[in-house]
């Protein structure tokens, strides 16, 4: 079946689509100048981008954000506040575009309805006080949002969600805490309740995750591309605060692939409901971060085959003792998406990691892997 599906993909012939709005803006950016100097490449290193913006006046920075909002709003290394501003411009333009599509007679009724859903999503993201760190409306879309003050936080947490993490699922009303924004909000509030260090949390749905029902959900292809984006995003974070990653479901594959290339400031990688991390154990991840794993008793992910054959599968189950992760108590968390629900022991344990009070976490029943004493600490070095 896999061969048939792949072959069908090879045989399908489609005309090259016209450049989308992001590609058009990137093309304009590549031809642009400021004060007679060319703009940095869109894929320039965060350090190069930071140096470029440091040499501009505030007025010059803001003009670039207004003229190229999709580029500046997604540019690793650009000033954080400028990215927020640029993404407000980009969201306003996206709202107008989707409003026009709602009455576009060239679209089917279903297409017009989806345009309406996207418009309402973008209007929500434009609400006062929201801090959108990245935004790309093309395709299913990508986004990242910050809770707290990213530039002054003592510790930073990054929530990396799993499948179906496009813009329409970036936040939800029903099943709120199964969506990236809800996960991050719950984690942020729990970290604040713990007290101590000031924290910021990022809902990072800034990669192309696979749809739930798709062959790509069983391979690491999209995870590999997502890992590259995650490494760049973490590398561009301001300051020197320690960073903890909280990786749910397919997001744990992204984190596993990224682990070896992540900056040394990443102190912890916690996976929840993981199908695997493309590794046979913690040592294979080649990271100095502490690695944690948590799984609810009734999480269906337990029944997924833990294998890795070529591009298919994700390797060893991270909650098996042989993997070597520190195993956390999930308490009464329900199913595959209940780890970030307020009031659950799973959320409290994850928040303790984010807040830096790892001595207070509770271990999974019957194991000592997360105990704050050596030999557990051996995994932290």
The domains found in the chain, sorted by start residue, are 21-128 (no CATH), 139-303+311-371 (3.40.50.1820)
Residue ranges of alpha helices (H) inside 210-249 are 221-235
Q: How far apart are CA 157 and CA 355, in angstroms?
A: 8
Q: Is the pLDDT of residue 1 over 80?
A: no
Q: Is the pLDDT of residue 266 over 90?
A: yes
Interval 106-157: pLDDT, tens: 999 999 999 999 999 999 999 999 999 999 999 999 999 999 999 999 999 9
The pLDDT-based confidence of 9 (bands split at 50, 70, 90) is very low
The pLDDT-based confidence of 218 (bands split at 50, 70, 90) is low
pLDDT at 307: 66
Beta-carbon contacts of residue 131 (< 8 Å; ≥ 6 apart): 84, 145, 146, 147, 150
pLDDT at 210: 87
Interval 177-199: pLDDT, tens: 999 999 999 999 999 999 888 99
Interval 343-352: pLDDT, tens: 999 999 999 9
Q: Is the pLDDT of residue 60 over 60?
A: yes
Place of tokens 């929201």: 130
Comparison of pLDDT for 305 and 86, the residue scoring more:
86
pLDDT at 158: 98
Report the percent of the chain where pLDDT is more than 70: 88
pLDDT at 20: 85
pLDDT at 130: 98
Place of tokens 């192309």: 208
Q: Is the pLDDT of residue 172 over 50?
A: yes
The pLDDT-based confidence of 370 (bands split at 50, 70, 90) is low
pLDDT at 306: 74
Q: Is the pLDDT of residue 12 over 70?
A: no
Q: What are 327's strand-pairing partners? A: 293
Residue ranges of alpha helices (H) inside 55-179 are 58-67, 69-72, 80-101, 109-125
Q: Is the pLDDT of residue 8 over 50?
A: no
Least confident of 142-146, 208-212, 277-281: 208-212
pLDDT at 76: 93
Question: How buried is 357 (Cβ within 10 angstroms: 0-12 exposed, 13-18 middle, 19+ buried)?
Answer: middle
Place of tokens 């947490």: 157
Question: Does 375 sit behind a cis peptide bond, omega within 30 degrees of 0 on the bond before it?
Answer: yes
Q: How far apart are CA 358 and CA 350, in angstroms?
A: 9
Average pLDDT score, the chain: 89
Q: How far apart are CA 40 and CA 215, in angstroms?
A: 37
Report the percent of the chain where pLDDT is more than 90: 80
Provide the whole-model pTM: 0.90
Q: Is the pLDDT of residue 224 over 50?
A: yes
Q: What is the mean pLDDT of residues 44-50?
A: 93
Comparison of pLDDT for 14 and 349, the residue scoring more:
349
């Amino acid at each position: 079946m896999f061969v048939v599906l792949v072959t069908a993909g090879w045989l399908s012939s489609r005309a090259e689509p016209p450049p989308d709005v992001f590609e058009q803006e990137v093309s304009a950016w590549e031809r642009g100048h400021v004060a007679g100097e060319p703009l940095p490449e869109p894929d320039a290193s965060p350090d190069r981008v930071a140096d470029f913006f440091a040499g501009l006046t505030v007025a010059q920075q803001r003009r670039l954000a207004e003229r190229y909002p999709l580029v500046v709003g997604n540019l690793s290394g650009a000033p954080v506040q400028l990215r927020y501003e640029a993404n407000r411009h980009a969201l306003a333009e996206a709202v107008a575009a989707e409003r026009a599509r709602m009455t576009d007679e060239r679209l089917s009724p279903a297409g017009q309805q989806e345009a309406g859903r996207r418009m309402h999503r973008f209007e929500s993201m434009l609400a006062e006080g929201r801090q959108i760190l990245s935004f790309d409306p093309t395709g299913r879309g990508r986004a990242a949002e910050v809770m707290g003050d990213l530039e002054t936080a003592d510790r930073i947490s990054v929530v990396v969600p799993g499948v179906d993490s496009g813009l329409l699922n970036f936040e939800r009303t029903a099943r709120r805490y199964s969506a990236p924004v809800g996960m991050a909000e719950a984690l942020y509030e729990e970290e604040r309740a713990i007290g101590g260090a000031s924290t910021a949390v990022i809902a990072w749905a800034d990669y192309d995750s696979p749809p739930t029902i798709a062959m790509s959900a069983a391979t690491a292809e999209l995870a590999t591309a997502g890992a590259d984006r995650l490494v760049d995003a973490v590398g561009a974070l301001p300051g020197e605060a320690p960073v903890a990653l909280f990786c749910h479901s397919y997001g744990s594959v992204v984190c596993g692939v990224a682990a070896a290339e992540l900056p040394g400031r990443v102190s912890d990688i916690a996976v929840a409901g993981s199908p695997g991390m493309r590794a046979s154990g913690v040592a294979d991840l080649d990271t100095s971060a502490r690695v944690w794993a948590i799984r609810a008793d009734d999480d269906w992910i337990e029944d997924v085959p833990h294998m890795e054959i070529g591009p298919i599968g994700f390797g060893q189950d991270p909650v098996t003792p042989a993997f070597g992760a520190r195993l956390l108590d999930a308490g009464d968390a329900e199913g595959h998406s209940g780890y970030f629900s307020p009031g659950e022991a799973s959320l409290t344990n994850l928040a303790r990691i984010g807040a830096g009070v790892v001595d207070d976490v509770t271990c999974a029943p019957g194991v000592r892997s997360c105990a704050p004493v050596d030999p557990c600490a051996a995994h932290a070095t």
